[in-house]
Amino acid sequence: MAAKRPPRVMILADGSRPALRAAVDRLRPTIEQHLEVVEVSLDFLADLSSSEAELAIVLGGDGSILRAAHQMGYEQKPVLGVNLGKLGFLAALQPEQLAAVLPEIASGEHRVVEHLMFECTAMRRGRLLCEALGLNETAVLAGPPFNMIDVELHVDGELATTYSCDGLIVSTPVGSTAHGLSVGGPILRKSLQAFVIVPISPHTLTHRPVVDSADRTFELAVPEPNEGTSLVVDGRVLCKLESEDRVKIVRSRATFQLVEVSGQTYYRTLHEKLGWGGQLNLGK
């Protein structure tokens, strides 16, 4: 019987950082003992949608994984994140753990968990202003001169409410541990099919985060924007907004695929990354 072909993999990292370029050189021989490396990309600029790789190993932090997801576009590959950054909610694997988990991946014993992605479009008087595929969040930020703005939230064509705030975030569960968490939003399990709407410094205390189904259509409008009011997707400024602009967020057909290996659990990651106290015994 012919030997099973090892999975084809691409290695992604930010080559502009010497420490990450050195990490690629250091870890590549270990990876090649178990997987077939068909591509190495060190600039996060290449279009990876047509790559023949079956798996992506991203060396870096969650920001690197976000950029990798953007590179793959609508042809997402399963991603194994190796944390060389800071918190690393998505890049939960430590470099010293890589050698131990690669045989599990090579034999197909790992799990691939799909996560919600979204499409964001902004229209101006019936014309497409900008658009993006995202993984974390859409944010409308007040911007200079930093006066509070009113942001209208429409759900399935119905005006739900108007927030007086410094900005509004519409986040996926993956993004719930990013900007939304820092402004008081809830943590959602990453595999949930839902969006969370979180106002930034709302003027009215009754405006709390709202969680709703990912099958809804969310639209945002700013009737009186500041000069610098901007639309931001996954940390990238897409465009400045004017009074007649309409921002739409909907579920995408693309899904982000995250590789999970033995020993990785949802609450273990939260416990370690957020510094939760108490004893943790999730191995039983």
Residues with catalytic roles? 62
Q: What is the DSSP string of 66-104?
A: HHHHHHHTTS---EEEEE-SSS-SS--B-GGGHHHHHHH
Distance CA 1, CA 4 (A): 9
DSSP E strands, 166-233: 167-171, 194-200, 210-213, 218-221, 230-233
- Residue 166: DSSP 8-state: S
Contact 68, 75 (CB under 8 A): no
Angle between helices 18-32 and 98-106 (to 10 degrees): 50
* Residue type at position 25: D
Q: Which of 241, 226, 52 is nearest to 146 (CA)?
A: 226
Contact 161, 207 (CB under 8 A): yes
- Give the CA radius of gyration of the chain: 20
Q: Compute how many other C-beta atoms are within 10 angstroms of the C-beta atom of residue 89.
A: 23
Contact 67, 73 (CB under 8 A): no
